[in-house]
Amino acid sequence: MFEKTGVATREMVMTKFPPIERINKGPVAVVECYQKIPCNPCQTACPFGAITIGEDINNIPCRDENVCTGCGVCVSKCPGLSIMIVDGSKSPDTVQFRIPYEFLPLPEAGEKVTGLDRAGQPICEAKVIKVMDPPSFDRTPVVTLEVDRKYLYDFRNFRREA
Ligand code: SF4
Ligand code: SF4
């Protein structure tokens, strides 16, 4: 399935999420890298050593949720746009996501957008909380969005309706 469509199954996705107790404590990285490829900017970018690839650069990265602070440094550094930050500490009803977003024009804080699942299908409404695009992100802006908690494991991207 994944080999044909490139869309991760729920089973695959769940292997990348930390336990809900960790998500509810505060921000943490979800590293959705599923295939062995020669790549390691996530490991080298993390200032806390929370992502390990090891000696073989083809290894799949492993994120330690107990070391990850959710700082978000790794999000814009991944060339595959495979990393997002999830944070369930803000509200019992919603979760916040920080995702890489390379489309223009960028959204604005407060804007309502359409949340998409991993197949690009619309699933919910999402609210833009913040947009970060400093030079250090090297043209990979990072957008923070608030989404209904029931879409925690489904939300992955968004599209503007304007
Ligand atoms: S969010 Fe910060 S601490 Fe966590 S893996 Fe990414 S760079 Fe490391
Ligand atoms: S930088 Fe991104 S694509 Fe490369 S190994 Fe890390 S998570 Fe995977």
The tokens for 15 are 């292997």
Nearest-atom index, ligand 2, CA of 31: 7
Closest-CA residue to 84 (of 145, 134, 2, 129): 145
Whether the CB-CB separation of 106 and 143 falls below 8 Å is answered with yes
What residue spans define the domains of the chain?
2-159
Three-state secondary structure call for residue 28 = strand
Burial class, 59, CB count within 10 angstroms (exposed 0-12 / middle 13-18 / buried 19+): middle
Closest-CA residue to 146 (of 99, 104, 83, 106): 99
Q: Which amino acid is at 6?
A: G
- Which residue ranges in the chain fall short of pLDDT 50? none
Three-state secondary structure call for residue 69 = coil
Distances 60 to 36, 51, 100, 111 between C-alpha atoms, Å: 6, 10, 20, 35
Q: Can you list the pairs that 131-139 forms with residues at least 24 positions away whose Cβ atoms lie under 8 Å?
A: 131/106, 131/107, 133/106, 136/76, 137/76, 138/76, 139/102
For residue 21, the model assigns a pLDDT of 98
- Ligand 1 binding pocket includes 100 (Cβ within 6 Å): no
- Ligand 1 binding pocket includes 42 (Cβ within 6 Å): no
For residue 1, the model assigns a pLDDT of 67
- 7-51: pLDDT as tens digits: 999 999 999 999 999 999 999 999 999 999 999 999 999 999 999
CA of 50 to the centre of ligand 1 (A): 6
pTM of the model: 0.96
For residue 6, the model assigns a pLDDT of 80
